[in-house]
Amino acid sequence: MTYHDVEPLNGVDRYAVVGNPIAHSKSPFIHEAFAQQTGQAMTYERVLAPVDGFDATVKALIKQGYKGLNVTVPFKFEAYKICDSLSARAQSSGAGAVNTLINTNGKVHGDNTDGAGLRRDIEQNLGFSIENKDILILGAGGAAHGVLNSLVGAKQITIANRNLDKALQLATSISNGSACPFESLERPYDLIINATSAGLTDSALPISDAIFSKNTLAYDMMYGRETPFMAQARRNGAQVADGLGMLVEQAAEAFYLWRGVHPDTQPVMDKIRAIAI
Ligand code: ATR
């Protein structure tokens, strides 16, 4: 039996995203759009879990028969620990983080669709092949960990972080990785991924203009605002993308795990941009 064969309890399967805070999550909008587009009978809600109550919240939702959950900040690491089984990519993501839970008869299976979402956005939506590229990742926290394994095929991956030890640790987890401080970056890269949370506070990173060229794709994993990183990349002629595509693609991958159908992501991305939710 696959996950998709599970019969709904009452005709309409229930799903939710669990986080704290959760009020501004776009996931319900995205999954409702996917459900409508693909004709799936399901509901998708926001659930606020207390900071110290993730485990209890998930157990209660599973008991109520929720078929699947998305997990967001700050619970992705805790989610990894409470699963009965884990997908290979969740296991191999050095992060130990899970963003998608699948309930099969009360057993919880964990997966992580963030890396696949990033890669799909970069390759399919932005038309930029990762293969053999010289990649720079800014940041070495959970966001960087979560997507590192999806960049297989890159020529080399440089990881720069304010805390150099964290960058070194992350770089040693891959065969083609190296680490350095922001200040020693001084040549252009093919792809630069901003995985820091500096943009949340509009903080500029101490990075040189020299890391950007007109052939660079500068990708910020944040969405909903023009970060100082994006502005700097634009000033230096790079192609610039925010993380909205990744958000929608990771959701599409979760939707596929739950429902066995791949939704068309482009109309959903267009709609979010048009109404600026
Ligand atoms: P996430 O799970 O979103 O990655 P995190 O684990 O808190 O969150 O990591 C945030 C990342 O942003 C880290 O790499 C952090 O750098 P440090 O490891 O040195 O703390 C980086 N970061 C956050 N604010 C920053 C700033 N103002 N300048 C530079 N780096 C910053």
Q: How many CA atoms lie within 13 A of 207 on its CB side?
A: 33
* Full-model pTM: 0.93
Average pLDDT over residues 184-190: 98
Confirm whether 166 is a catalytic residue: no
pLDDT level of residue 144 (50, 70, 90 thresholds): very high
Q: Report pLDDT for 2.
A: 34
CA nearest ligand 1 atom 25, residue: 198
pLDDT digits (tens, 9 = 90+) for 44-75: 999 999 999 999 999 999 999 999 999 999 99
Q: What spacing in Å lies between the alpha carbon of 240 and ligand 1's midpoint?
A: 21
- Distances from the Cα of 13 to the Cαs of 7, 35, 49, 103, 218, in angstroms? 9, 11, 21, 11, 39
Q: How many CA atoms lie within 13 A of 234 on its CB side?
A: 10
Domain 128-242 falls under CATH 2.70.98.60: no
Q: What spacing in Å lies between the alpha carbon of 162 and ligand 1's midpoint?
A: 8
Residues framing ligand 1 (Cβ under 6 A): 139-144, 161-163, 166, 195-198, 203, 205
Q: Which of 170-174, 180-184, 247-251, 272-276 is least confident? A: 272-276
pLDDT digits (tens, 9 = 90+) for 191-210: 999 999 999 899 999 999 99
Measured from the CA of 138, which atom of ligand 1 is nearest?
14
Q: Report pLDDT for 92.
A: 79
The residue extents of the domains of the chain are: 13-112+245-275, 128-242
Strands 42-48 and 68-71: unpaired
Q: What spacing in Å lies between the alpha carbon of 137 and ligand 1's midpoint?
A: 12
CATH number of this structure's domain 13-112+245-275, picked from the four choices 3.40.50.720, 3.30.530.20, 3.40.50.300, 3.40.50.10860: 3.40.50.10860
- Distances from the Cα of 18 to the Cαs of 74, 89, 112, 266, in angstroms? 10, 21, 15, 25
To test the pocket of ligand 1, the residue of 78, 80, 164, 196 to mutate (highest count of ligand atoms within 8 Å of its CB) is 196
Q: Which amino acid, 182?
A: F
Average pLDDT over residues 239-245: 98
pLDDT over 50 (residue 132): yes
pLDDT over 50 (residue 270): yes
pLDDT over 70 (residue 90): yes
Q: From the candidates 59, 63, 67, 76, give the one annotated as an active-site residue.
A: 76
CA nearest ligand 1 atom 3, residue: 143
pLDDT over 90 (residue 6): no
